[in-house]
C-alpha cells in the first residue's frame, strides 16, 4: 500500500480487491499528514547527500547510441545481385540491338551473358533469404506495394524470355537434324525468337531500375533520401556493366554500339552520382558515402568509371584497350553497387543519420507554421 | 479520400481497407510512461506468453536497461534514461514550446479545461488542490508547478510495436507473410515468411527483426522456433481472438500500459496529457496519436516526458511506401532513359 497523496485520485477498483478499512484509513491519515505539511517526494528541495547519477550528464539526444532503426539484414549477395542483375538487364537490350542490326557474335555473346547473369541473380537471391527453402513463397502473391514482389515478377518474366532466346541461340549453334521432334522444336524457337527478344529487351529496363526502388523503399537514410537519383545511377551502372562485359567478350568490329551504350552509361553515372552526393550533402548524409569501406569503394568506382570511359572513347579498333576498359567499367559498376549498399547499411546503424534529418525537416515544417502532421502532439 | 489514395498515406481505418468486412473496432495500447516504474513485468509477461527464446544475457551498463531494444525475441522493451535537472528543464521547455506552436489541433480538445485538478474521489484522501496552492512555483503561463524541478529523474518507458496505420513492414513484404488482422494490428505468419528481411529495413521504428540462430531456446527440447523468420509483437493476436487483454497490459502493475480500442486509447491519452500540462508538467507529450503523421497514426500511443529520440524513437518517422508512387515514377523515367540509350547506341551511330 502506498501513501502518496495522489492515491486520493485513484478511482475505486471495481468488483475486486476491496480495500480493508483499517489499512485504507491508515493510508488516508498518512496522506493527510503529508498534505498538511506540504512536503512530499514531489516538492522536496534537496538537502542531504545524494548519490551521484550513474551516467554522467551528457547532451545526448539518442538512446545510448543505439540505432533508432534496424539495418536490412542483407549480406554481399544483394549488392552482387544488383550488379549481376544490371549486367543481365543491359545484355538483354544489347541482344535486341544486335538482332536488329545483324551482329551475330554480339547477339550470341549478349544472350549467353544475359542467361548466365539471370541464373546467377536467382541463385544470389535464394542464398540471401533467411529460409531459402521458402523462395517460392515469393510467387504466391503479386504485391504492387512491395518492390521486392514487383522485382521478383520482373526477374521471372525476364528469365522466361531469356530462356527462350538462349534456347533459340543454342539450337542454332548445335545444328539440329532437319526432321523429327527436334526439328519442330527448332522451328518453334525460330518463331518465338523475335517476340522473346523484344520481351527480353522490354523487361531489361525495369530489371535495371527496380533495384533502386528496392533500396529506396526502406527507412535506411542514405537509400531513402537518394530516391530521386538512385534509379538513374542504377540504370547507368547497368549500361556500363553490360557494355563493359560485351567489350571484353566481343570483337571490336561488332562492339561499336556497345561502346556508345557504355559511354552513355558513364556520362549518366557520373552526373547522377554527382547530383546524388550534392543532394545528400544538403541533408548532412554524405558522410557514409565518403567514409569507411563504402567510401573507398565509391572513390575507386569513380576512378574506374572515368578511366574506363576514357579508354572506351579512345579504344577504336584496339582489342586490348577495349578489354581493359570493359573490365574497368564492369568493376566500377560492381563497386558502385557495393558502395551504395554498404553506405546505406552504415547510415542505418548510426542514430545520428536517422534522427538529425528527421529533426531538421520537422523544425523546417514548424518554422513554416505546419504543425498538423507531427507524430508528437500535446493534446 | 479514394480507396487507392488512402492505401499508402494519410488517416484511414486499416482493417476495412485490408478487406475485413464487419471488422471489430481497431485495438491499441496506450503506454503512459509518466507512471511506468520500470519493473519490466511487461517484458517478462510477453516472453512467457509468447514463449520467446532467450536473445542474450549480458549487462549493458546503460542504466537498468539490459534488454537493449526491441527485436525478434523481444517484443516489449523498457527503456531507462537518467536525467539531470537541466535536462528536465529542457524537456519541460521543449514541451511548452509545442503548446506555443499550437500543436496539433487535431480533434476536439478534451472536456476538462480547468487549470486545477478535480476534487479527489470521495473518501479517498486529501485534496491535491491544497498541495498545489501551497507550492509557490509557477510556469511561465502562470500554471502552478508541482514542486521545484527535481535534481534527477529516471525516464522509464515500455516500448512496443507501433502497429502503424500504414505499416512499412506489411506493405513491403513480398510473400504476404505480414498481414493486417481484423483488430487493425500487424501480424507475421511465420510459416509464410521466407526470411528476405525486407520488412526489417522498412520499419521506421526499428521494431521488426529476423530471428538469428544465436537465439537460445527456453523450451525443454531445446528447439528454437522460426529461425530466419521476421518476428515482432502481434498485440497478442491469440489472446485478442478470445477477447483477452494482451499479456503486457494485463500484467502492468501501474496501468502504465493500457489496452482497448484505439479511439478510447487516444481519448485517454489526450485527457492525460492535458491533465499533466495543467499541473505544470509541460514536458508531457503524446507520440503516435496524430492520424496526420508520417505513418497515419500508430496503434500504440505513448505519453512521453521528453523528446522521442531520447527514448530511441524517431522524431519524425515516415513510412517509406508513402513515397512509393514517386519512386516508381522516377524509376520508370530512368528505365525509359536506358531504353532510349540502347536505341541511340545501336541505331544512331554509323556501322
pLDDT in tens, B261-270: 999 999 999 9
Residues of B numbered 43-82 whose beta carbons fall under 8 angstroms of chain A's beta carbons: which are they? 60, 62-63, 65, 68-69, 79, 81-82
Q: Annotation-wise, does B138 bind a ligand?
A: no
Q: Do B126 and A32 touch (CB under 8 A)?
A: yes
User: B344: how many CB neighbours lie within 10 A of its CB?
Assistant: 14
Q: Annotation-wise, does B183 bind a ligand?
A: no
Q: Do B229 and A66 touch (CB under 8 A)?
A: no
The pLDDT score that the predictor gives to residue B2 is 67
CA torsion B280→B281→B285→B289, rounded to 10°? Answer: -70
CATH classification for the domain delimited by B5-318, as one of 1.25.40.20, 3.30.390.30, 3.30.70.100, 3.30.70.20? 3.30.70.20
The pLDDT score that the predictor gives to residue B236 is 95
Q: Do B62 and A68 touch (CB under 8 A)?
A: no
For chains A and B, count residue pairs whose Cβ atoms are closer than 8 Å. Answer: 390
Answer whether residue B29 shows pLDDT above 80: yes
List, in order, residues 6 or more apart from A303 with CB less than 8 Å away. A332
Judge if the upstream peptide bond of residue B104 is cis by omega within 30 degrees of 0: yes
The pLDDT score that the predictor gives to residue A162 is 96
Is the separation of the CB atoms in A254 and B338 below 8 Å? no
Shortest distance between the Cα of A4 and any Cα of chain B, in A, equals 10
| Residue B292 touches partner A, C-beta closer than 8 Å | yes
ipTM: 0.87
In B, minimum Cα distance to A347 occurs at B201
Which residue from B124, B203, B308 is facing A70, i.e. has the nearest CB? Answer: B203
The whole-angstrom separation of Cα B33 and Cα B286 is 10
Q: Do B202 and A217 touch (CB under 8 A)?
A: yes
Cell of B101: 506552436
The pLDDT score that the predictor gives to residue B134 is 56
| Residue A320 touches partner B, C-beta closer than 8 Å | no
Answer whether residue B110 shows pLDDT above 50: no
Q: What Cα–Cα distance (Å) separates residue A303 from each residue in A297, A298, A309, A310?
A: 10, 9, 10, 11
DSSP B5-35: GGGTSSS--HHHHTT-SSPPPPEEEEEEGGG
Residues of A numbered 47-66 whose beta carbons fall under 8 angstroms of chain B's beta carbons: which are they? 50, 53-55, 57, 60-64, 66
Strand order in the sheet with B300-304: A376-377, B285-287, B300-304, B27-32, B257-261
- Sign, CA dihedral A173-A175-A178-A184, equals negative
Is the separation of the CB atoms in B303 and B30 below 8 Å? yes
Q: Do B331 and A210 touch (CB under 8 A)?
A: yes
Residues of A numbered 134-153 whose beta carbons fall under 8 angstroms of chain B's beta carbons: which are they? 134-135, 137-138, 140-141, 143, 145-149, 152
The pLDDT score that the predictor gives to residue B113 is 43
Q: Do B316 and A40 touch (CB under 8 A)?
A: no
SS3 B285: strand
**Please, which residues bridge with residue B209 across strands?**
B231
Answer whether residue B218 shows pLDDT above 50: yes
- pLDDT tens profile A118-147: 999 999 999 988 888 888 888 899 999 999
| Residue B182 touches partner A, C-beta closer than 8 Å | no
At which residue does the C-alpha cell 521466407 appear? B194
Name every chain A residue with its beta carbon within 8 A of the beta carbon of B110.
379
> For residue A227, which of B322, B326, B198, B204 has the smallest C-alpha distance?
B326
Name every chain B residue with its beta carbon within 8 A of the beta carbon of A216.
320, 323, 327
Q: Do B152 and A50 touch (CB under 8 A)?
A: yes
Summarize the confidence of residues A36-45 as an average pLDDT.
48
The pLDDT score that the predictor gives to residue B268 is 95
Q: Annotation-wise, does B86 bind a ligand?
A: no
Shortest distance between the Cα of B110 and any Cα of chain A, in A, equals 8
List, in order, residues 6 or more apart from A208 with CB less than 8 Å away. A85, A86, A89, A90, A234, A235, A238, A239, B334, B335, B338
CA B316 to chain centre: 12
Shortest distance between the Cα of A252 and any Cα of chain B, in A, equals 12
pLDDT grade, residue A50 (50/70/90)? very low
Q: Do B323 and A46 touch (CB under 8 A)?
A: no
The pLDDT score that the predictor gives to residue B145 is 56
Q: Do B342 and A5 touch (CB under 8 A)?
A: no
Name every chain B residue with its beta carbon within 8 A of the beta carbon of A268.
337, 341
Answer whether residue A57 shows pLDDT above 70: no
Answer whether residue A46 shows pLDDT above 80: no
CA B334 to chain centre: 36
pLDDT grade, residue A41 (50/70/90)? very low
pLDDT grade, residue B260 (50/70/90)? very high
Answer whether residue B179 shows pLDDT above 70: yes
As a whole number of Å, the CA-based R_g of chain B is 23
The pLDDT score that the predictor gives to residue A44 is 44
Q: Do A147 and B210 touch (CB under 8 A)?
A: no
- pLDDT tens profile B292-337: 999 999 999 999 999 999 999 999 999 999 999 999 999 999 999 9
| Residue B325 touches partner A, C-beta closer than 8 Å | no
| Residue A232 touches partner B, C-beta closer than 8 Å | yes
List, in order, residues 6 or more apart from B193 with CB less than 8 Å away. A130, A131, A134, A137, B173, B175, B177, B178, B226, B229, B230
In A, minimum Cα distance to B342 occurs at A261
Is the separation of the CB atoms in A240 and A329 below 8 Å? yes
Q: Do A6 and B128 touch (CB under 8 A)?
A: yes
**Please, which residues bridge with residue B285 across strands?**
B304
Domains by residue range for chain A, with CATH: 77-352 (1.20.1630.10)
**pTM over the 0.90 mark:** no
SS3 A217: coil
| Residue A226 touches partner B, C-beta closer than 8 Å | no
Q: What Cα–Cα distance (Å) separates residue A30 from each residue in A27, B50, B125, B341?
A: 5, 42, 9, 84
Answer whether residue B350 shows pLDDT above 80: no
The pLDDT score that the predictor gives to residue B57 is 82
The pLDDT score that the predictor gives to residue B106 is 45
Do β-strands B230-231 and B257-261 pair in parallel, antiparallel, or remain unpaired? unpaired
Answer whether residue A266 shows pLDDT above 80: yes
- pLDDT tens profile A290-308: 999 999 999 999 999 999 9
The whole-angstrom separation of Cα B246 and Cα B163 is 14
Summarize the confidence of residues A24-38 as an average pLDDT.
53
Amino acid at each position: 500500500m502506498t501513501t502518496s497523496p495522489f492515491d486520493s485520485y485513484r478511482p475505486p477498483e471495481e468488483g475486486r480487491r476491496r480495500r480493508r478499512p483499517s489499512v485504507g484509513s491508515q493510508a488516508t491519515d498518512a496522506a493527510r499528514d503529508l498534505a498538511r505539511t506540504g512536503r512530499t517526494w514531489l516538492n522536496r528541495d534537496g538537502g542531504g547527500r545524494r548519490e551521484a547519477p550513474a551516467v554522467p550528464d551528457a547532451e545526448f539526444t539518442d538512446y545510448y547510441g543505439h540505432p533508432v532503426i534496424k539495418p536490412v539484414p542483407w549480406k554481399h549477395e544483394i549488392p552482387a545481385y544488383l550488379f549481376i542483375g544490371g549486367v543481365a538487364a543491359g545484355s538483354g537490350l544489347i541482344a535486341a540491338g544486335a538482332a536488329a542490326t545483324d551482329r551475330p557474335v554480339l547477339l550470341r555473346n549478349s544472350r549467353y551473358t544475359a542467361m548466365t547473369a539471370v541464373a546467377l541473380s536467382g541463385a544470389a537471391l535464394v542464398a540471401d533469404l533467411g529460409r531459402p527453402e521458402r523462395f517460392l513463397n515469393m510467387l504466391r502473391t503479386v504485391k504492387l506495394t512491395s518492390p521486392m514482389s514487383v522485382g521478383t515478377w520482373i526477374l521471372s518474366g525476364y528469365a522466361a524470355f531469356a530462356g527462350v532466346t538462349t534456347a533459340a541461340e543454342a539450337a542454332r549453334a548445335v545444328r539440329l537434324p532437319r526432321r523429327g521432334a527436334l526439328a519442330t522444336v527448332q522451328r518453334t524457337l525460330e518463331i518465338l525468337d523475335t517476340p522473346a527478344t523484344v520481351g527480353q529487351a522490354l523487361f531489361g529496363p525495369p530489371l535495371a531500375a527496380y533495384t533502386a526502388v528496392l533500396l529506396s523503399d526502406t527507412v535506411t537514410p542514405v537509400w531513402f533520401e537518394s530516391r530521386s537519383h538512385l534509379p538513374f545511377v542504377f540504370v547507368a551502372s547497368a549500361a556500363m556493366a553490360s557494355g563493359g562485359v560485351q567489350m571484353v567478350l566481343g570483337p571490336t568490329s561488332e562492339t561499336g554500339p556497345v561502346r556508345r551504350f557504355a559511354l552513355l552509361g558513364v556520362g549518366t553515372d557520373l552526373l547522377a552520382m554527382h547530383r546524388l552526393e550534392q543532394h545528400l550533402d544538403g541533408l548532412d548524409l554524405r558522410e557514409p558515402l565518403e567514409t569507411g569501406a563504402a567510401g573507398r569503394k565509391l572513390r575507386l568506382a569513380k576512378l574506374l568509371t572515368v578511366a574506363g570511359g576514357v579508354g572506351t572513347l579512345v579504344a577504336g579498333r584496339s582489342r586490348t584497350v577495349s578489354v581493359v576498359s570493359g573490365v574497368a567499367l564492369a568493376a566500377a559498376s560492381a563497386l558502385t553497387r557495393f558502395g551504395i549498399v554498404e553506405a546505406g547499411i552504415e547510415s542505418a546503424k548510426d542514430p545520428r543519420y536517422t534522427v538529425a534529418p528527421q529533426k531538421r525537416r520537422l523544425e523546417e515544417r514548424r518554422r513554416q507554421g505546419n504543425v498538423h502532421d507531427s507524430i508528437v502532439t500535446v493534446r | 479520400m479514394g480507396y487507392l489514395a488512402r492505401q499508402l498515406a494519410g488517416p484511414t481505418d486499416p482493417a476495412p481497407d485490408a478487406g475485413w468486412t464487419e471488422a471489430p473496432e481497431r485495438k491499441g495500447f496506450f503506454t503512459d510512461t509518466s507512471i511506468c516504474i520500470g519493473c519490466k513485468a511487461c517484458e517478462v509477461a510477453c516472453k512467457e506468453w509468447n514463449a520467446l527464446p532467450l536473445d542474450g544475457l549480458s549487462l549493458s551498463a546503460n542504466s537498468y536497461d539490459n534488454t537493449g531494444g526491441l527485436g525478434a525475441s523481444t517484443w516489449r522493451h523498457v527503456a531507462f534514461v537518467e536525467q539531470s535537472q537541466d535536462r528536465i528543464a529542457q524537456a519541460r521547455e521543449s514541451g511548452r514550446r509545442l503548446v506555443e506552436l499550437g500543436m496539433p489541433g487535431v480533434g476536439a480538445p478534451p472536456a476538462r479545461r480547468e487549470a486545477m485538478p478535480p476534487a479527489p474521489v470521495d473518501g479517498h484522501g486529501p485534496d491535491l488542490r491544497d498541495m498545489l496552492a501551497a507550492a509557490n512555483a509557477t510556469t511561465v503561463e502562470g500554471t502552478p508547478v508541482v514542486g521545484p524541478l527535481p535534481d534527477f529523474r529516471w525516464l522509464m518507458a515500455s516500448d512496443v510495436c507501433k502497429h502503424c496505420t500504414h505499416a512499412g513492414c506489411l506493405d513491403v513484404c513480398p510473400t504476404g507473410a505480414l498481414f493486417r488482422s481484423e483488430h487493425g494490428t500487424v501480424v507475421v505468419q511465420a510459416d509464410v515468411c521466407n526470411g528476405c528481411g525486407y520488412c526489417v529495413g522498412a520499419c521506421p521504428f526499428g521494431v521488426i527483426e529476423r530471428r538469428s540462430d544465436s537465439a537460445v531456446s527456453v523450451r525443454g527440447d531445446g528447439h528454437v522456433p522460426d529461425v530466419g523468420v521476421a518476428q515482432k509483437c502481434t498485440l497478442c493476436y491469440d489472446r485478442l481472438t478470445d477477447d483477452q487483454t494482451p499479456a503486457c497490459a494485463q500484467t502492468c502493475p501501474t496501468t502504465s500500459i493500457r489496452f482497448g480500442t484505439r479511439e478510447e486509447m487516444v481519448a485517454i491519452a489526450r485527457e492525460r496529457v492535458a491533465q499533466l500540462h495543467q499541473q505544470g508538467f509541460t514536458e508531457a507529450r503524446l507520440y503516435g496519436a496524430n492520424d496526420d503523421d508520417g505513418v497515419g497514426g500508430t496503434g500504440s500511443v505513448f505519453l512521453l516526458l521528453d523528446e522521442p529520440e531520447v527514448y530511441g524513437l524517431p522524431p519524425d518517422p515516415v513510412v517509406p511506401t508513402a513515397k512509393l508512387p514517386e519512386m516508381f515514377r522516377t524509376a520508370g523515367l530512368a528505365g525509359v532513359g536506358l531504353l532510349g540509350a540502347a536505341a541511340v547506341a545501336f541505331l544512331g551511330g554509323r556501322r
